[in-house]
Chain A
Amino acid sequence: MDYTIGNIAPIILLPFAAFVINAFIVKKVPKFAVGLGCITMFASFCYACRVFKDFVFVTYSADYYVHKVFTWFDLGLINGKPFNVDMGIYLDNMSAVLLLMVTGCALIIHIFSTFYMEHDARFGSFFVYLSLFTAAMIGLVLSENLLSVFVFWELMGFCSYSLIGFYYEKEGAGNASMKAFMTTRVGDVFFLVGILAIWSTIGSTSFVDIYAAIASGAFNDLTVVGIPLVTFSAISIFLGTIGKSAQFPLQVWLPDAMWGPTPCSALIHAATMVAAGVYLSLRMYPLMEAGGITTVIAYIGGITAFGAATIALIQTDIKAVLAYSTISQLGYMVLGIGVGAYNAAFMHLITHAVFKACLFLSAGSVIHSLHDHHTDGHVQEMPRMGGLRKKMPFTFIAMLCCTFAIAGFPFFSGFVSKDRILGDALLQALDHKTMIAPAVLGFIAALLTAFYMFRMMFLTFYGEPRDKELYEHTDVETLSWNRNVPLLILTVFTLGFWYSGSLTGQGLVKFPGVEHKEWFSTLIKKPDVEKFTKYKREAWGSTDSRDQFFEKAHYDANHGMTEAQAHHAHHVHHIGAIMSIIIAFFGFFIAYMMYIKKAWSPGWWSSKLSPWYRALQSKYFFDDLYIKVIIQKGLLGMNNFLAWIDMGIYDRYIVDGTEVINRFAYRVSNWFDNKIVDTVGVDGTGASVRLFNVVLRTIQSGKIQFYFMILVVVLVSYIWTLV
Chain B
Amino acid sequence: MISLPSFLAISFILFVSGLVVMIAKKNIIAILLGVELILNSAALNFAAYTRFVNQNLDGHIMSLFIIIIAAAEAAVGLAIVIRFFQIRESIHIDDATQLLQ
Q: For B97, what are the chain A residues with a Cβ–Cβ distance below 8 Å?
A: 701-703
Contact B93 A704 (CB under 8 A): yes
Q: Is there contact, CB below 8 Å, between A702 and B98?
A: yes
Tell me whether A712 is interfacial, beta carbon within 8 Å.
Answer: yes
- Asked if B99 and A702 sit within 8 Å, CB to CB, the answer is yes
Is B96 in contact with chain A by the CB < 8 A criterion? yes
Contact with A along B3-21 (1 / 0, CB 8 A): 0000000000000000100
Contact A702 B100 (CB under 8 A): yes
Query: Per a CB cutoff under 8 Å, which of B19, B22, B93, B101 touches A703?
Result: B93
Bound form: Cα–Cα A703–B28 in Å: 12
Tell me which of A700, A704, A709, A712 contacts B96 (CB under 8 A). A704
Q: Which residue of A lies closest to B28 (CB)?
A: A704
Chain B contact residues: helix, strand, loop or mixed? helix
B26 to chain A, nearest CB (A): 8
Do A712 and B100 form a contact, CB below 8 Å, given A703-B93, A704-B93, A705-B93? no
Q: Does A708 interact with chain B (Cβ within 8 Å)?
A: yes
Q: Which residue on A lies nearest to B100, using beta carbons?
A: A702
In the complex, what residues of A have CB within 8 A of residue B101's CB? 702
CB-defined contacts of A703 to chain B, threshold 8 Å = 93-94, 97
A712, B19: Cβ atoms closer than 8 Å: yes
Which residues from chain B contact A704 at a C-beta distance below 8 Å?
31, 93, 96
- Which residues of B48-100 have CB atoms within 8 Å of chain A's CB atoms? 93-94, 96-100
Contact A701 B23 (CB under 8 A): no
A705 surroundings in chain B (CB, below 8 A): 22-23, 26, 31, 93
User: Which chain A residue lies CB-closest to B97?
Assistant: A702
Q: Which residues of B contact A708 (CB under 8 A)?
A: 22-23
Least CB distance from A704 to B in Å reads 6
Task: Give chain A residues whose Cβ lies under 8 Å from the Cβ of B94.
Answer: 703
B11-46 at interface with A (beta carbon < 8 Å): 19, 22-23, 26, 31
Interface size counted on chain B using CB atoms at 8 A: 13
**A671-723: which have CB < 8 Å to B?**
700-705, 708-709, 712
Q: Is the CB of A701 within 8 A of B100?
A: yes
**List of A residues within 8 angstroms of B22 by Cβ:** 705, 708
Rounded to whole angstroms, the CA-CA distance of A700 and B99 in the bound complex is 8
Closest CB in chain B relative to A487 CB, distance in Å: 100
Give Cα distance in the complex from A709 to B96, angstroms. 17
Residue of B nearest to A705 (CB): B23
Bound-state CA distance A720–B26 (Å) is 29
A705 to B93 CA separation, bound complex (whole angstroms):
8
Tell me which of A700, A705, A709, A712 has the highest count of chain B C-beta atoms within 10 A of its own C-beta. A705
What is the CB-to-nearest-CB distance from A710 to chain B, in angstroms, rounded to a whole number? 11
For the complex, what is the distance from the CA of A9 to the CA of B31, rounded to whole Å? 97
Q: A718–B101 Cα gap in the complex (Å)?
A: 30
Would you give the shortest CB distance from A697 to chain B, in whole angstroms?
Answer: 9
Residue in chain B with minimal CB distance to A704: B93
Q: From residue A548, how far is it (CB to closest CB) to chain B in Å?
A: 93
Task: Specify which chain B residues have a CB less than 8 angstroms from the CB of A702 in the assembled complex.
Answer: 96-101
Cα–Cα distance between A700 and B19 once the two chains are bound (Å): 21
CB distance from A702 to the nearest CB of B (A): 3
Q: Contact flags (1/0) for A423-452 with B, using CB distance below 8 Å?
A: 000000000000000000000000000000
- Closest CB of chain A to B35's CB: distance in Å? 10
- Residue-wise interface mask of A (265-290) relative to B, using a CB-CB cutoff of 8 A (1 in contact, 0 not): 00000000000000000000000000
- B42, chain A: closest CB distance, angstroms: 14
Q: With the chains together, A150 CA to B53 CA distance in Å?
A: 92
Contacts of B99 in A (CB 8 A): 700, 702
Inter-chain contacts of B26 with A (CB < 8 A): 705
Considering the complex of A and B, which 3 residue pairs feature the smallest CB-CB distances, nearest first? A702-B97, A702-B100, A702-B99
Pairs A–B under 8 Å by Cβ, sample size 11: A700-B100, A701-B97, A701-B100, A702-B98, A702-B100, A703-B97, A704-B31, A705-B23, A705-B93, A709-B23, A712-B19
Binding site for B on A (CB under 8 A): 700-705, 708-709, 712
Extra 9 A-B pairs, beta carbons < 8 Å, given A703-B97, A708-B22: A701-B100, A702-B98, A702-B101, A703-B93, A704-B93, A704-B96, A705-B22, A705-B26, A709-B23
